[in-house]
């Protein structure tokens, strides 16, 4: 199945792009920097311009076609006027108002059974995500250039890192998966956001 994305979230893209005006300062409180937006996972957008009276008028603003056959379970995030999302192997940044691609990067990893990734997290100008081969990677959010990578799972025994991380207080929190299929022992990690070094 070929994935045409952002139709379901284009209303969010339009809202994020519509307020405030291009030359007006943005507040970080209107961003959606991680899977559930906040550390306490409210999934609530504090954008007053969308309400019960006008929500029915939301329309698709734009679409972006990944052009590949893959699973798509990412939680898109929005920081400033940029939307970031992931597939199993790729990470993409687009303009939230026009869906114009800003950058797109792909990691060379072996195909996995589920072909999924749940998303990325943003902190201090960097984007963080896990991969099916057990790595966590950090990219420069402006360019897509890789900053660091750290391996926390062993794909030879079925470990992978499909979860969307949490980025906070200079650290990236993420765990590896595989216990449901292979009986491996799950672990949680805190990585230094600047270097990728395992803190605990």
pLDDT digits (tens, 9 = 90+) for 149-188: 999 998 888 888 999 999 999 999 999 888 777 777 889 9
| 104-149 residue pLDDT tens | 999 988 877 778 899 999 999 999 999 999 999 999 999 999 999 9
| pLDDT for residue 27 | 52
- What pLDDT, on the 0 to 100 scale, is given for residue 20? 39
CB 104 within 8 A of CB 50: no
Going across the sheet that includes 166-168, the strands are 166-168, 171-175, 188-192
Q: In this structure, are residues 101 and 56 in contact, taking their beta carbons and an 8 Å threshold?
A: no
Q: Given this model, what pLDDT does residue 28 score?
A: 56
Query: To which residue do tokens 């969010």 refer?
Result: 12
- Quote the tokens at residue 103: 């950058």
Q: What CATH number belongs to 2-192?
A: 2.40.128.630
Q: Which of 195, 108, 99, 192 is nearest to 147 (CA)?
A: 195
What's the whole-number average pLDDT of the chain? 84
Helical (H) or strand (E) element with 14? helix 10-18
Q: Is the pLDDT of residue 13 over 80?
A: no
pLDDT number for residue 184: 78
Distance CA 184, CA 177 (A): 8
Query: What 8-state DSSP symbol labels residue 185?
Result: P
Residues in the chain: 200
Domain segments of the chain: what residues?
Answer: 2-192
| Per-residue pLDDT, 16 | 43
pTM: 0.82
């Amino acid at each position: 199945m070929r994935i045409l994305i952002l139709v379901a979230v284009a209303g969010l893209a339009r809202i994020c792009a519509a307020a405030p005006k291009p030359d007006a300062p943005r507040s970080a409180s209107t961003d959606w920097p991680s899977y559930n937006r906040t550390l306490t996972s409210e999934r609530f957008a504090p954008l007053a311009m969308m309400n019960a009276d006008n929500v029915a008028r939301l329309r698709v603003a734009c679409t972006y076609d990944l052009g590949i056959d893959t699973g798509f379970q990412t939680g898109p995030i929005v920081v400033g006027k940029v939307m970031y999302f992931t597939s199993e192997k790729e990470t993409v940044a687009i303009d939230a108002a026009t869906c114009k691609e800003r950058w797109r990067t792909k990691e060379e990893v072996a195909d996995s059974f589920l072909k999924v990734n749940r998303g990325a997290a943003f902190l201090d100008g960097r984007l963080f995500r896990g991969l099916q081969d057990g790595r966590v990677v950090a990219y420069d959010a402006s360019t897509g250039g890789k900053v660091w990578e750290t391996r926390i799972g062993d794909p030879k025994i079925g470990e992978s890192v499909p979860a969307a991380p949490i980025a906070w207080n200079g650290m990236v929190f993420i765990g590896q998966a595989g216990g449901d299929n292979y009986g491996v022992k799950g672990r949680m990690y805190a990585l230094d956001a600047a270097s990728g070094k395992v803190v605990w």
